[in-house]
Every structure is written in C-alpha cells, then in structure tokens.
Amino acid sequence: MIRDLYMGVDQQQMNEQRDLLVRVMQGYDIDVTDETATRLLGYLDLMLKKNNEMNLTAIRDFNKGVILHIVDSLLYYKSIMKFASLADLYYPTADEVAEVEEDSVISFLDMGCGAGLPGIPLTIIEPSLHGVLCDSTKKKIAAVQSMVEDLDLSGQLTTCAERVEQLPMRFVDGFSVVTARAMGTLPVLLEYASPLLFEDGIFVVSKGNPPADEMKSASKVARLVGMELLDSTEYQLPGDMGHRVILTYGKVDEPRVELPRPVGMASSHPLA
C-alpha cells in the first residue's frame, strides 16, 4: 500500500520532509530510520486525503502536518518507553487488542484519538506497542480503521467508537499506558484515565502551556483518582510551531471516589 501513497505530494517534497523528520527527531534523541519516516509520511498523506472527504484535522498543509501531527505525536515516545517499565506487560485478549503471537507487548489505549494521533505514529516507530484507538465519533473511527488497514497496522491496532466513560466496562483488565492529545483539561483527563489503567500503569498527555490553575486542580484530582505526577518534560517544536509539555502520571493507588462516573459528569462537575 505504501507505494500507492503520496499521490498528491511531489517526490522531491516527500524526500525533503523525510530527511527533515529524521533530522528533527534526532534532535529529540529519538531514532527514526528513513524507512520508518517514509511510513510516517505515508500515514500523514492518507490522513490529509481522507480530510478532503470529512473533517479530521484543521491542518491541511503537508509540511505543517509533519511537525504538528507527526513530530508532535512522537514526543510521547521517550516518556512511554521510560515509564512503561513500571507497568506489567501482558498478552492482551482478542477482544482488547489485536492478537499477539510473539513477545509480550506494551498495551495502550489512545482515548479521543481523532485522526489516529498519537497512536498511529507511535505504533509505526515502536513494534512493542499494541493498542486500541478510541473516539466517540463513528465516522472518524471508520476513517482511522481504514488507515490502520492501509498501513498494515492491523496486527498492532484495533479501533472502537465509544464514549471514554464507557470504556472501563469494556476493557475490564485495563492497559499499561493511556494517552491523550488535544482532548480536554487535565483534571477531566485524569478522571477518564484512572479506571482504564491497571496498577502501576501510566497516563501520558501533551499540553501546550498548561495554566497554573489547571495544574493545581490536576494535582488535587490526581490524588483523588489514585494518580501521581511522575515526570514533566518540555519541548519546543521546530520553526516556532509551539511549546509542548509531556506529562506522565502513574497509577499508584486505588481511587478515593467511585469511577467511572456517569457520562458527562467529569466535564460538567469536575472533581476539583
């Protein structure tokens, strides 16, 4: 399928963006080979083509998408691989994640994945990541499922279209890692993530410049839902395209409140 991609992208432009992607990620101490970069750009090309059919992203320029979608998603990588060792590795069931025949994997859930971010880029660069891409919008999930198949990632990824509050009832065994990107405020996201993680699991989330009051509320909610801030790493995107903070929370205790709460409660009546 990869050979059929880039239909709307000039070959020279693709080569330039591939070299740029490899170089930029080296600056973040993340190794991306030329072959992997080509797969990542193939995904971006697929996404932008599908964006002509439905609204998946406001970013329609290929060059900007390299930074604001691909690089931005890959910034999760080091935090996941550093702290996922705290989480048990296990063989996921067929109902949870695609079947695995070889070694144990790091199971993850990407909640509110939208166009498949950051889940698809992360699985492209890391074979040990096997997960579920979830979004409440069925049309988006249908598009994401199509891209997963076109990119030959069905062995690593499955999809589901459900509200995040309903997911703990479906995935009762939990995940090693939960991710979220451009989805909501930290207090709400922490409440969503906690019942989806098993003990010592981690929640990794990206923020631009989270205000002090959001961080303060997040600290209070973290204690209530059995979570603890393990790490905060700051990055600057190339070309003055933005500042990112990658926050990693660990599930260190049982929640002090009953979770999940009914649909809509986390956003309408935050815990703090």
Judged against a pLDDT cut of 60, whether residue 154 lies above it is answered with: yes
Mean pLDDT value across the chain:
90
Structure confidence at residue 91 as a pLDDT band (50, 70, 90): very low
Q: Which domains does the chain have, with CATH numbers?
A: 76-268 (3.40.50.150)
Q: How far apart are CA 249 and CA 189, in angstroms?
A: 11
Query: Nearest-CA neighbor of 268 among 185, 180, 182?
Result: 185
Judged against a pLDDT cut of 90, whether residue 158 lies above it is answered with: yes
Residue 44 CB partners (closer than 8 Å, separation 6+): 62, 65, 66, 69, 70
Structure confidence at residue 182 as a pLDDT band (50, 70, 90): confident
Q: What's the pLDDT tens digit per position in 38-80?
A: 999 999 999 999 998 898 999 999 999 999 999 999 999 999 9
Which comes out higher in pLDDT, residue 162 or 102? 162
Q: Lowest mean pLDDT: which of 14-18, 22-26, 95-99, 231-235?
A: 95-99
Supply the pLDDT for residue 103: 53
Which comes out higher in pLDDT, residue 238 or 1? 238
- Within 13 Å, how many C-alpha atoms sit on residue 203's CB side? 30
CB 265 within 8 A of CB 245: no
Judged against a pLDDT cut of 80, whether residue 119 lies above it is answered with: yes
User: Does the predicted TM-score (pTM) go above 0.75?
Assistant: yes
Judged against a pLDDT cut of 90, whether residue 231 lies above it is answered with: yes
Structure confidence at residue 13 as a pLDDT band (50, 70, 90): confident
Structure confidence at residue 3 as a pLDDT band (50, 70, 90): very low
Whole-Å CA distances, 66 to 35, 41, 71, 84, 107: 15, 7, 6, 26, 26
Judged against a pLDDT cut of 70, whether residue 4 lies above it is answered with: no
Structure tokens at 125: 């660069």
Q: How far apart are CA 26 and CA 12, in angstroms?
A: 21
Give percent above pLDDT 90 in the chain. Answer: 81
Query: Nearest-CA neighbor of 20 among 6, 32, 8?
Result: 32
